[in-house]
Amino acid sequence: MKVAVLIPCYNEEITIGKVIDDFKRVMPEADIYVYDNNSKDKTSEIALEHGAIVKKEYRQGKGNVVRSMFRDIDADYYIMVDGDDTYPAEFAHKLLDPLIREEADMTIGDRLSNGTYYNENKRNFHDFGNNMVRWLINKLFKSNIKDIMTGYRGFNREFVKAMPVLSARFEIETEMSIHALDKKFLIKEVAIDYRDRPEGSESKLNTFSDGFKVLKTIFMLFKDYKPLLFFNIWTVFFLVVGLLVGVPVLVEFADTRYITKVPSAILAVGLVLLSMNTFACGVILDTVVKQQRFNYELYLNDLRDKYKK
């Protein structure tokens, strides 16, 4: 059984040595990979000194790092953790065990259930953003995931090799969660402790700009994964507005047999036609997505057969 610990890094010289040592202590059998994403400090040098396998990713952004990790590294099981020492290595086996027992394809390190995240995290807007993203995804995909944005996760080989990473930056956690939900991968959450960054270590997240990117990702993935529901919402919106604009025109015509509100009539007809077109787009794209899901299942079957051999 081959286990790989994946650590994406950008300017983590203060913490990376401890993170590597902690995982070597609790998982001595694992290969530890540090992917340096154009760090301007001594992250790579320190990682090498502590015995990690160091690789470079020159395209900036965590999503780009994860894409390269998933493509390059071959293992049976993977543990992904940030290099900022906020996630204790002692929980790695709790993330790994459900994968080995085939109870999960992806395990999620849930920072929120133990309450340590709210005690340790000093960025209140992050709490608000996490809660909003969690609510949106759970509503859209009828799930009950407690921690969508955590960077501490475990994967089996099938999930890693079948995960199409499209996001470039910190939206990657959201993308992985939605992909797993849509493709019916087994997900299991494991309650973990969380600790804030040590003094001198700075977060790379920008609450507002990165939060906007995450919301944009949810919006786009909602359109891609559930087009019928997405376009039906717009269908109802255009239809309701069209009726609101058009009803006075119809009332006037019923009373006088004449239309004086010509602009309103044109707008109402345009909105109703737009509503019909939007509904047709949703039906067509829903058919395309169902065919894509069918092909994806066949791809997973081929992937399983490949690794069994």
| 26-35 confidence digits (pLDDT tens) | 999 999 999 9
Residue 53, beta-bridge partner list: 33
**pLDDT given at position 203:** 61
pTM of the predicted model, to two decimals? 0.83
CB 5 within 8 A of CB 81: yes
Assign 259 a pLDDT band (cuts: 50, 70, 90). confident
**pLDDT given at position 270:** 96
Q: What is the pLDDT of residues 35-92, one digit of tens each?
A: 999 999 999 999 999 999 999 999 999 999 999 999 999 999 999 999 999 999 999 9
Q: Is the dihedral of CA 198, 200, 201, 203 positive or negative?
A: positive
Q: What is the mean pLDDT of residues 163-182?
A: 90
**pLDDT given at position 5:** 98
Query: CA triplet 258, 264, 270: central angle to 5 degrees?
Result: 115
**pLDDT given at position 114:** 80
Question: What is d(CA 208, CA 210) in angstroms, rounded to the nearest whole number?
Answer: 6
Q: What is the pLDDT of residues 199-214, one digit of tens each?
A: 665 665 565 676 677 7
One DSSP character per residue, 150-166 reads: -S-EEEEHHHHHT----
List the structure tokens of 54.
């160091």
Closest CA to 152 of 226, 71, 93, 238: 93
The count of other CB atoms within 10 Å of the CB of residue 309 is 5
